[in-house]
Amino acid sequence: MAGGVIAVIIRIIGGGAVLVALLAFSFSTVLAVALHGDGLGTLGSYDWQAVRFTIWQALASTGLSVGIAVPVARALARQDFKGRSLLITLLGAPFILPVIVGVLGLLAVFGRAGWISQGLDLFGLDRLSIYGPAGVILAHVFFNLPLATRFILQGWASIPPDRFRVADSLGAQPWTQFQLIEWPMLRAMLPGTFLLIFLLCLTSFAVALAIGGGPRGTTIELAIYQSFRLDFDLGKASSLALIQFVICGTVAALAILIPLPRNDGHGLGLIHTRQDVQSNRIIDFGFISITAAFLILPLASIVIRGAIHLPELPNAVFAAAWTSLWIALISTSLCIGMALSLALSFARTGQTTQKLVEVVGILGLATSPLVVGTGLFLMIFPFAHPMSLAVPVTAMVNAMMALPFALRVLFPAIRDTYVDYIRLRESLMMSSGTWLWKVILPRLSKPLGFAAGLAAALSMGDLGVIALFADPDLQTLPLMLYRLMGAYRMDQAAAVAVVLVAQSLALFWIFDRGGRRHATS
């Protein structure tokens, strides 16, 4: 028994350490920046306008992304078709694209010179112009709808297929089935998914500006950028970063208030064999094809644009690909380590505590990357040369940014495994080691694979703080891409984008597939 108590204490300390690190990472970086300036600064009317626009566009973009993701995920959950697995993998793609690549891909389809405009032109119609708030939302839906779909699909996969069979045999109507079986799952999945997507839209800045059509598209992140870069008003930058925290905290609190129904069963992640499959074929495939087209056309344009220039790439691309790969692997291990440590430590605590932990977990995403980078720089600078720490800092920041996604995937899975197997453990007097290695981890392989895939791909695509801590000899793929663009070499940059997309997707696929294979064997 004493061993058990010690194990519990160790776990609590481990989880607590991660929480403290997260708080230090987010709040202390803001504090460091504020202290370097003259405390917090006051905001002008344009700053408040930016705050309003940010909240408005983030709510609209998130609502639309999550709203569309529900029927798409439902369609993917119950329909089987050729290429389904490939499409699910591709859902991970837009999320990991460097912003500029994604925007150019979208414009190749929806832009003034895009495919749709060219088509309209043929019929003598006006060209499409998406610039403005509608374009910003379109772009955010492009970047985030696939991710939301992936999350909600996980939820559908967790419903035991027996339930539908039982419901069918009892003659339950589709609407009743939805209310009794699917709605509880959605109620559990949606708040967390909404929160994550909201945060991604909240901190977006280049997308909003590039397609926003002018200073109306100013987000808080751009205002932070301005106060830091143009005015060197660190106080104002910290105030804006705090406002970003407050918005995120408010939305998180709302998400917390919604009570979670207990997930009381497990799916096998199989396609549901349900009676309503046939009757909904048309609607389902409508959703699937529109989403797939919306997703694949811009991606295809990126690949078509870049692939022919691949032979022109200098050898430096190999080094950059290698650097990106191992930074991604380090940050993935860090991220998964932190997520597991948190989830295992708090798996048996009450629902409210678990939700609080998840909220602290999202701090990494609620913080302005520029403020985090600057804060870390200020904290490291008195003790060491920041440049010499470029790799660990970049890996750590990437891990922190990916942590909310990993937690979102792992936490429910661990919680459910505990609920289902804890009695077995007690009755067999299983040791902690056996419990962890023989019961918990095998049951986690699927969510672990997905979480690791997300973390790795996210790290790969992120320009990250490496630009701020620039070590001249260390070039990642995103950095190389931006440098090529900055040197007029748009063709070669497009080719690097292809390498980046291919490498990120491959890594995502290996982790995700690895997890899925392990689960079924």
Residue 421: is it exposed, middle or buried by C-beta count within 10 angstroms (0-12/13-18/19+)?
middle
- The CA-atom distances, in angstroms, between 425 and each of 388, 403, 435, 448 are 47, 29, 7, 22
User: In sequence order, what DSSP letters do the residues of 221-269 get, joined into one string?
Assistant: HHHHHHHHHTS--HHHHHHHHHHHHHHHHHHHHHHHHSPPPP------S
Is 113 or 283 the residue whose CB approaches other proteins more closely?
Answer: 113
Determine if 321 is a binding residue for other proteins (CB under 8 A): no
Residues 356-375 that bind other proteins (CB under 8 A): 374
CB burial readout 235-248, b (16+ within 10 A) else e: bbbbbbbbbbbebb
Determine if 125 is a binding residue for other proteins (CB under 8 A): no
Q: How far is the CB of 218 from other proteins (least distance, A)?
A: 8
Tokens linked to 140? 């955010």
Using CA atoms in the order 13, 242, 456, 10, what is the torsion angle rounded to 10 degrees? 0
Tokens linked to 111? 């832009």
The answer to whether 447 and 455 have CB atoms below 8 angstroms apart is no
Q: Which of 200, 191, 224 is nearest to 37 (CA)?
A: 224
> What's 280-315 look like in SS3?
CHHHHHHHHHHHHHHHHHHHHHHHHHHHCCHHHCCC
Determine if 31 is a binding residue for other proteins (CB under 8 A): no
Residues 237-276 that bind other proteins (CB under 8 A): none
Q: How far is the CB of 293 from other proteins (least distance, A)?
A: 20
Q: How far is the CB of 489 from other proteins (least distance, A)?
A: 6
Residue 172's SS3 state is coil
The stretch among 1-9, 168-176, 287-295, 377-385 that binds other proteins (CB under 8 A) is: 377-385
* From candidates 393, 465, 468, 477, binder to other proteins by CB under 8 A: 468
The stretch among 13-21, 184-192, 214-222, 284-292 that binds other proteins (CB under 8 A) is: 214-222
Determine if 56 is a binding residue for other proteins (CB under 8 A): no
Give how far the C-alpha of residue 393 lies from the chain's centroid of Cα atoms, to the nearest Å.
20
* From candidates 88, 296, 490, 519, binder to other proteins by CB under 8 A: 490
Residues with Cβ within 8 Å of residue 424, at least 6 apart in sequence: 430, 439
Determine if 52 is a binding residue for other proteins (CB under 8 A): no
Determine if 437 is a binding residue for other proteins (CB under 8 A): no
Determine if 3 is a binding residue for other proteins (CB under 8 A): no
* From candidates 310, 470, 506, 510, binder to other proteins by CB under 8 A: 470
Determine if 314 is a binding residue for other proteins (CB under 8 A): yes
Euclidean distance between CA atoms 58 and 486, whole angstroms: 29
Determine if 226 is a binding residue for other proteins (CB under 8 A): yes
Is 146 or 386 the residue whose CB approaches other proteins more closely?
Answer: 386
Determine if 513 is a binding residue for other proteins (CB under 8 A): no
Determine if 303 is a binding residue for other proteins (CB under 8 A): no
Q: How far is the CB of 290 from other proteins (least distance, A)?
A: 24
Residue 457: is it exposed, middle or buried by C-beta count within 10 angstroms (0-12/13-18/19+)?
buried
Determine if 100 is a binding residue for other proteins (CB under 8 A): yes
The answer to whether 143 and 200 have CB atoms below 8 angstroms apart is yes
Is 441 or 470 the residue whose CB approaches other proteins more closely?
Answer: 470
Is 175 or 383 the residue whose CB approaches other proteins more closely?
Answer: 383
The answer to whether 204 and 219 have CB atoms below 8 angstroms apart is yes
Determine if 16 is a binding residue for other proteins (CB under 8 A): no
* From candidates 7, 21, 49, 380, binder to other proteins by CB under 8 A: 49
Determine if 115 is a binding residue for other proteins (CB under 8 A): no
* From candidates 206, 268, 379, 441, binder to other proteins by CB under 8 A: 206
Is 193 or 226 the residue whose CB approaches other proteins more closely?
Answer: 226
* From candidates 8, 23, 134, 487, binder to other proteins by CB under 8 A: 487
CB burial readout 279-316, b (16+ within 10 A) else e: ebeeebeebbeebbebbebbbebbbebbeebeeebeee
* From candidates 165, 216, 266, 425, binder to other proteins by CB under 8 A: 216
* From candidates 48, 56, 183, 381, binder to other proteins by CB under 8 A: 381
* From candidates 166, 316, 424, 428, binder to other proteins by CB under 8 A: 316
Tokens linked to 126? 């006006």
- The CA-atom distances, in angstroms, between 507 and each of 94, 107, 393, 418 are 15, 27, 22, 30
- Chain positions contacting other proteins, by CB under 8 A: 36, 46, 49, 100, 103-104, 107-108, 111-113, 129, 131, 205-206, 209-217, 222, 225-226, 228-230, 232, 314, 316, 374, 377-378, 381, 385, 387, 467-468, 470, 472, 482-490, 493
